[in-house]
Chains A and B, each alone.
Chain A
Amino acid sequence: MKQIVEMREALRQALDEEMTRDERVFILGEEVAEYNGAYKVTKGLLDKWGPRRVIDTPIAELGFAGLAIGAAMTGLRPVVEFMSWNFSFVGADQIISNAAKMHYMSGGRFSVPVVFRGPNGAAAQVSSQHSHCVEALYGNLPGLLVVAPSNPYDAKGLLKAAIRSNNPVLFLESELSYGDKAEIPTDEYLVPIGKAKVVREGRHLTIVSHSRMVLVCLKAAEELAKEGILVEVIDLRTIRPLDIATVAYSIAKTHRALLVEEGHFFAGIAAEVGFEINEHCFDQLDAPLRRVCQRETPMPYSRVLEAETLPNVGRIVHAAKKLIKEG
């Protein structure tokens, strides 16, 4: 059986199913309960599960992020919603110094099965303090799993896998994607953490991306197809651990790679993927790697400037064409 659902509903189903499966799973965050979620991901869950398991917090990211980590260390499985991943910076010490390091630092004595989730990156004109992409920052920390789905199917399956993981998972969503619809099974399914996916096959060029930018890459691929350039698009789905094997297989076929990331150029995910390509399949490359990322400014407010700084179809098509001509 199939159902057509929005991204927010896919996420809500994942939460609801995992709360049904495991009594230790509970949700906490700002406005998740009585308000039904700032983006309605947790809609109806307070009514169903009650205030013991769906908990509104005060505006205290450091406090409730740390509380969730402490609860996870002592036997529960919290799912924390950040209203924006930009607010996680207030609680970053707990994520970085405690969640990421605890299992290793304690010699394996304590694990931290916690999920932090919420919208990451740009929305619509929310300016610099609400638009930063956090995956490059948190991706630098051994001990964290970083997941960034692009569509409702993956979002549901990956969130369920994240809640079942015995490690801290940072689950990055996109505000602009909460209304995206897709057909997903009504039966239960999981999507494994750490597996990338070829979402469009091609043979001239591989584009590697994640989260909402995958959709922009697919549009660019359609434009390029009109000119006979057949692009293979890979959705990383998980940033860490990075599935470089799927990327390498594709490059063995296309011999060219373009890396597209909503976040910034400097020390970004594209930089990491690019270096791993160099390490694993340099001999397969017929042209230098290229990347399209967010330009090196804080996010501007103006619609015109915002569109200019983010990767878009035009910039991706332009970079792809240059790549095809090279080598």
Chain B
Amino acid sequence: MYHFFPTQKEEALASITSEELIDDLKRMLLIRHFETRSEAAYQAGKIGGFFHSYIGQEAIQVAAVRAFGVNNWYTTSYRCHALALLLGATPNELMAELYGKATGNAKGRGGSMHFYTPELLGGFGIVGGQVPIATGAAFTCKYLGQKEKVSLCFMGEGAVAQGAFHESLNLAALWDLPCLYVIENNQWGMGTAVNRAISVQAIAEKKAPGFNLKGYTLDGMDYFHCLQAFKAIKAEIINEGRPVLVEAITERFKGHSISDPALYRSKESLTACMQRDPLQILKSTLLEKGLLTEEQFVALDKEIKERVLVAMKYADESPWPDPVTLEEDVFAP
């Protein structure tokens, strides 16, 4: 069904320094620990509202941010914790936001679905709502003649059914906007399997030609594959000044949100997808290549887990928002 973007693992390895590889392993670990510990904090009643974990999908955004660099525009869905971490938001400010504290990433006003950095336009809570926004950011790049800058838009496969997806891709293709649309197909829109929601598969390969665009399929569990593909796609977008549609095949290891026990998915199918854990794929390659030892990994893992525990302590000890600030910032000055 899929024609995966042609990549060579050795080429991907050659294109990145060992420091960068270790750094990306650390980022994956940070995402994993951040999600795991905040789920625990949620269960302990420290965090409220909705909570959508990125565990299982880490290779995609880690590789994309490595390939494109921070200095672009980024948007994503409510499953936004990883991207904010990758773009430089600190675990402290993000955990404090989850705890609803004054020191939070959005002063305790956004919560789990609405994280920001100077380059991250959000965390968007309406499925597909970020797609026109990302298209507008790409418009700005073109309007201002910023030829090296791209707008990256991440969405789940559920967003493909929304009108916003179609209107945005038509506009971006029509106006030659430098936008990368990445459909992270994690197989489930809440409890609805992708083949019950989207009329075609492979989504990007089939949809892109209808917009006169290139569409590529990526193995979203394999960091090296994603890295090399995103590097090639970045060059294509910048050189041709055209948008690109990507479908990254992945699967979330958790329910849609924290309140979802994922009863619609069999244990066997979950176990099967967890065999291709992106973190393990990256780690085992680094071990094979002699870039990492098991002892070093254990030490890194411990260091990062402790970093997240520090963030939880910070969030816990941070002050609540002062009620007198409730009505501030409804309008910009």
Instruction: List residues of chain A with CB under 8 Å of any chain B CB.
Output: 26, 52, 57-58, 60, 62-76, 93-94, 97-98, 102-113, 142-143, 145, 166-167
Contact = CB atoms under 8 A, between A and B. Distances in A.
Contacts of A60: 167, 170-171
B255 interface: no
A74 B132 contact: no
A167 B144 CA distance: 21
Contact of A68 (B73, B105, B116, B136): B136
17 contacts: A52-B143, A60-B170, A64-B167, A64-B171, A66-B133, A66-B168, A69-B136, A70-B139, A70-B151, A74-B140, A94-B164, A98-B129, A105-B109, A106-B109, A106-B110, A106-B116, A109-B106
A71 B332 contact: no
Contacts of A104: 109, 329-330
Interface in B277-333: 328-333
Interface in B92-143: 104-110, 114, 116, 118, 121-122, 124-126, 129, 131-141, 143
A167 B331 contact: yes
A217 B170 CA distance: 46
Contacts of A97: 124-126, 129
Nearest to B143: A76
B148 to A, nearest CB: 15
B143 A58 contact: no
Given A70-B139, A110-B116, 10 more contacts: A62-B163, A65-B132, A66-B167, A67-B168, A73-B137, A74-B136, A93-B126, A94-B133, A108-B329, A166-B332
Contacts of A98: 124, 129, 133
A58 B175 CA distance: 11
A9 B329 CA distance: 35
The interface centre, meaning the residue of A52, A64, A65, A143 with most chain B CB atoms within 10 A of its CB, is A64
Given A71-B136, A74-B136, A106 B143 contact: no
The interface centre, meaning the residue of B107, B121, B134, B174 with most chain A CB atoms within 10 A of its CB, is B121
Contact of A63 (B75, B114, B122, B170): B170
A108 B331 CA distance: 8
A146 B328 CA distance: 19
Question: Across chains A and B, which 5 residue pairs bring their CB atoms closest together, nearest first?
Answer: A70-B136, A66-B132, A63-B167, A107-B106, A111-B332
B329 A103 contact: yes
B262 to A, nearest CB: 27
A255 to B, nearest CB: 32
Given A74-B137, A76-B140, A107-B105, A94 B329 contact: no
Nearest to A112: B332
Nearest to A55: B175
B170 A58 contact: yes
Nearest to A60: B167
Interface string B154-177: 000000000110011011001000
Nearest to A97: B126
Contact of A103 (B108, B138, B330): B330
Contacts of A142: 330
Given A58-B174, A71-B137, A75-B144, A103 B331 contact: yes
B322 to A, nearest CB: 14
A167 B332 contact: yes
A64 B133 CA distance: 9
Given A63-B132, A67-B168, A107 B332 contact: no
